[in-house]
Chains A and B, each alone.
Chain A
Amino acid sequence: MPAPTPRDERVTGARVTASGWGWRHAGRARPAVSGLDLDIRPGERVLVLGPSGAGKSTLMHALAGVLGDDEDGDETGELLIDGIRPRQARGRVGLVLQDPDSQVVLARVGDDVAFGCENLGVPRAEIWPRVTQALDDVGLDLPLRHPTSALSGGQKQRLALAGVLAMRPGLVLLDEPTANLDPDGVVEVRDAVHRSVQASGATLVVIEHRVAVWQDIVDRIIVLDPAGGILADGPTSSVLTAEGARLAAAGVWIPRYPPGRPARRPLAERTGEVLLSAAGLAVGRVPFARRQPVVVAEGIALDVTAGTATAITGPNGAGKSTLALTLAGLLAPAGGHLSATAALTAAGGQPRAAGRGRRRGGVLGADPHVWRSRDLLERIGTVFQDPEHQFLAGSVRDELAIGPRALGLGDAAVADRVDGLLDRLRLEHLADANPFTLSGGEKRRLSVATVLATRPRLLILDEPTFGQDSRTWSELVRLLAELLDTGTAVVAVTHDDHFVDALADERFVLAPSAGPASAGAITTGTIAPASAATPSTAAETGAP
Chain B
Amino acid sequence: MSMMTPEIRPSAIARVNPVAKLAVALLISCALMLSIDWVSAATALLLEAVLLAWCGLNARQFWLRTAPVWIAAPFGMLTTVLYGQDSGAVLWGAGLVTITEGSVELGLAIGLRVLAIGIPGIVLLATTDPTDLADGLAQVLRLPARFVLGALAGLRLVGMFIDDWHSLALARRARGVGDGGGLRGRAGRFGGLAFALLVLSVRRGSKLATAMEARGFGSDEPRSWARESVFGPRDAVVVAMGLAIAAAAVAAAVLAGTWRFVLA
Contacts and interface: CB of A to CB of B under 8 A. Distances in A.
B153 A105 contact: yes
A97 interface: yes
A123 B196 CA distance: 43
A66 B213 contact: yes
Contacts of A305: none
Contacts of B180: 372-374
A333 to B, nearest CB: 15
B58 interface: no
B127 to A, nearest CB: 16
A127 B226 CA distance: 6
A451 B217 CA distance: 42
Contacts of A328: 174
A390 B174 contact: yes
B156 to A, nearest CB: 6
Interface residues of B, number: 53
Contacts of A119: 215-219, 221, 223
A389 B1 CA distance: 22
B241 interface: no
A108 B171 contact: no
B131 A111 contact: yes
Given A102-B208, A149-B159, A330 B170 contact: yes
A103 to B, nearest CB: 4
The B interface is mostly helix, strand or loop, or mixed, namely helix
B29 to A, nearest CB: 27
B214 interface: yes
B172 interface: yes
A454 interface: yes
Nearest to A146: B5
A124 to B, nearest CB: 6
Contact of B5 (A65, A149, A402): A149
Task: Name, among A64, A97, A107, A120, the residue most crowded by chain B CB atoms within 10 Å (CB to CB).
Answer: A107
Nearest to A105: B153
A115 B215 contact: yes
Given A107-B131, A377-B176, A116 B5 contact: no
A107 B215 contact: no
B200 A388 contact: yes
Given A107-B131, A108-B131, A392 B223 contact: no
Nearest to A287: B162
A90 B217 CA distance: 10
B211 A97 contact: yes
B221 A120 contact: yes
Nearest to B150: A105
A117 B175 contact: no
A392 B177 contact: yes
B194 to A, nearest CB: 13
A91 B213 CA distance: 11
A234 B153 CA distance: 41
A119 B215 CA distance: 7
A150 B160 CA distance: 12
B223 A105 contact: no
Interface string B214-249: 111111011111111000000000000000000000
Interface string A133-164: 00000000000010101100000000010011
A403 interface: yes
B171 A390 contact: yes
A106 B153 contact: yes
Given A121-B224, A123-B224, A384-B171, 5 more contacts: A66-B213, A121-B221, A149-B156, A376-B173, A381-B174
Interface of B: 1, 4-5, 130-131, 149, 152-153, 156, 159-160, 162, 164, 166-168, 170-180, 192, 196, 199-200, 203-204, 207-208, 210-219, 221-228
List of 3 A-B pairs having minimum Cβ-Cβ separation, nearest first: A373-B178, A119-B216, A406-B176
